[in-house]
Amino acid sequence: MSKPSVKKVVVAYSGGLDTSVIIPWLKENYDCEVVAFVADVGQGEEELVGIEEKAKASGASECYIADLKEEMVADYIFPTLKTGAYYEGKYLLGTSMARPIIAKAQVEVARKVGADALCHGCTGKGNDQVRFEGAFAALAPDLTVIAPCVSGISSAVKSV
C-alpha cells in the first residue's frame, strides 16, 4: 500500500511525548507542513502553558488552541449525564466524550487552513482511534487520515 501524498496535515496535539514526536515524524515521512491543533476541553490551564511554543519547537508551522469548554459542557457532558451513561456503571465518560468534539474542531481548523489530511496520536490500544476516525469519516471523508502510532512510530515513541 503506497503512502498518500499530503501537503498539509492538522494533528491533534496534546503536548505529550507521542504527539510531540509525531510532528517531526510527519514532516520527515510525508514532507508536508504540519499544523498543531490543541483542544481545551477543561483539562486545566497548567496543561496548556507553553503548549504553542512546544508545538512550534517540535516543527509545527502554526498552533491553533480552541476553547471548547462551554460547548463540551452544554453539548456533550450535560446530555450524557442526563442519560445516566457510565462505563461499567461507575466511570464517567470524559475522555470518550471529548474525542468527537476535538475531532469536529480539528476538522474545522483543517478546512480553515486548507489542509488535505488529519492526524491523531492514538496508540490503537483503546477506543480513541475509533472515536477520532469515526468522527473524521463522518465530517471530512475527503481528507486523508494518518495514524502514526498505529502504523509506524509507536514502538519508537515507547522506547524513548
| Count of beta carbons in the 10 Å neighbourhood of residue 5 | 11
In a domain, 77, yes or no: no
**119 pLDDT above the threshold of 80:** yes
The cell for 7 is 501537503
Q: Is residue 79 part of a domain?
A: no
Exposure b/e, 66-105, CB count within 10 A at least 16 = b? bebeeebeeebbeebeeeeeeeeeeeeeeebbbbbbbbbb
Range of the domain at 136: 8-69+99-159
What backbone phi and psi angles, to 5 degrees, belong to 109? -65, -40
Q: State the pLDDT at residue 7.
A: 97
* Domain annotation covers residue 74: no
* CATH number of 104's domain: 3.40.50.620
Is 128 within the bounds of a domain? yes
pLDDT tens digits for range 5-44: 999 999 999 998 888 999 999 999 999 999 999 999 998 8
Q: Is residue 28 part of a domain?
A: yes
- Quick: pLDDT tens for 40-81: 999 888 889 999 999 999 999 999 999 999 999 999 888 888
C-alpha cell at 51: 503548549
Tracing cell 463540551 back to the chain, one arrives at: 72
Give me the number of domains the chain comprises.
1
Which triple of cell numbers denotes residue 70? 462551554
14 within a domain of the structure (yes/no): yes
Is residue 51 in a domain?
Answer: yes
Please report whether residue 115 resides in a domain. yes
pLDDT at 139 over 60: yes
